[in-house]
Amino acid sequence: MNTYPPLKALVFLDSVMRNRSFSAAASELCVTPGAVGQQIQKLEEWLGLPLFIRQVRQITPTPDGLAYWQQIQPALARIADASRRVRHQRSRSVALSMPPTFAAKWFPRRMAGFLTRHPDIALHLNSTTTLVEFERDGIDLAIRYFDGDDPALETTLLHTDEARLYCQPGYAAAIGLAQPDDIARATLLTTTMHPHWPIWLERFTRLSAAQIEQLPQIRFDQGVMAIEAARQGQGLVLTSPLLVEEELAQGGLYAPFDHALPLSAGYYVIHPRALPLRPAALALKDWLIEVAAPGPA
């Protein structure tokens, strides 16, 4: 007798057990329900015991069938994971995750440089504010805004950060913005990533805590929305210089004051320490570090 059971049937068994349905397993495996039934029957004959109790429009795992699947399922998961790693090791694609505003404001202005240098590498970009699960989400590298402290991650600082005040020139003229205390006549545009208005105002103005509390504010969960609102003359935005490069270059925004609030968080390129980077991912990481370095890119 063959030492190994029909290995193809094990994949079918795993799908049926997870879906509790021959039809759902067939859809997942892109075969017919009849083909699923044949593979399960073949495995049952090899094992010499029933794996399911079959009823009209319903199947129920037998105790033996459920116990058998629970023993082989971890091995199937390890096989799938090892196979995926080998398959992707030489892939010339790379998946990069970034915060939405960074993805919209910083990366597009530089992306062509990477694609020109590495025309054979396919970029897959992901934009999210949540922390990615690298293996589960199929992400090679991520750019994240934090303090860089995570022992499970390899972290490389791309940019330190600071909060500066920006506004549309016409808006500054309309409210008479000549010195920091004139912010008392402004609307503050606040973002989740840079909620530092109270600290900035306490440090660089003579406004009282009560005056600061009374200032009108519009809150945004995405920095790109606050920056656009400032460009449209809706108020003052406190944000990172990295995120308003285009607006400053085109004259849509300007910095009325030189005051900058240093921040402990920065933009880091990260990946798990336990997983080696594929060549395509390493090329992207090296390019990010190079283009983020001070001086001409």
Q: pTM for this one?
A: 0.69
Assess whether pLDDT exceeds 90 at residue 116.
Answer: yes
Average pLDDT value over all residues in the chain: 91
pLDDT-derived band at 223, boundaries 50, 70, 90: very high
Task: Give residue-wise pLDDT tens across range 148-167.
Answer: 999 999 999 999 999 999 99
pLDDT-derived band at 296, boundaries 50, 70, 90: very low
Return the top range by mean pLDDT from 26-40, 83-97, 131-145, 240-254: 240-254
Helix/strand/coil for 228 = helix
Mean pLDDT for the stretch of residues 60-64: 92
Q: Where are the alpha helices (DSSP H) in 20-107?
A: 22-29, 33-47, 63-89, 100-105
* CATH superfamily ID and name for 93-154+265-292: Periplasmic binding protein-like II (3.40.190.10)
Residue 200: closest CA among 155, 160, 149, 165: 165
Q: Residue 158 has what pLDDT?
A: 96
Ranges of each domain in the chain: 7-89, 93-154+265-292, 161-263
Domains 7-89 and 161-263 share a fold: no
Contact 36, 16 (CB under 8 A): yes
Q: CA angle, corner 179, sides to 257 and 172, nearest 5?
A: 75
Q: Residue 132 has what pLDDT?
A: 82
Q: How would you class 97 by CB atoms within 10 Å of its CB: exposed for 0-12, middle for 13-18, buried for 19 or more?
A: buried
Mean pLDDT for the stretch of residues 217-242: 96
pLDDT-derived band at 85, boundaries 50, 70, 90: low
CATH fold of 7-89:
Arc Repressor Mutant, subunit A (1.10.10)
Q: Residue 295 has what pLDDT?
A: 57
Instruction: Identify the helix (H) or strand (E) that includes residue 250.
Output: helix 245-250
Which CA distances in Å does 245 have to 4, 102, 133, 252? 62, 11, 30, 10
Assess whether pLDDT exceeds 70 at residue 30.
Answer: yes
Mean pLDDT for the stretch of residues 20-26: 91
Q: State percent of the chain over pLDDT 70.
A: 95
Q: Residue 297 has what pLDDT?
A: 43
pLDDT-derived band at 88, boundaries 50, 70, 90: low
Please give the residue that has the higher pLDDT: either 93 or 167: 167
Please give the DSSP secondary-structure letter assigned to residue 179: S
Task: Give residue-wise pLDDT tens across range 166-203.
Answer: 999 999 999 999 999 999 999 999 999 999 999 999 99
CATH fold of 161-263:
D-Maltodextrin-Binding Protein; domain 2 (3.40.190)
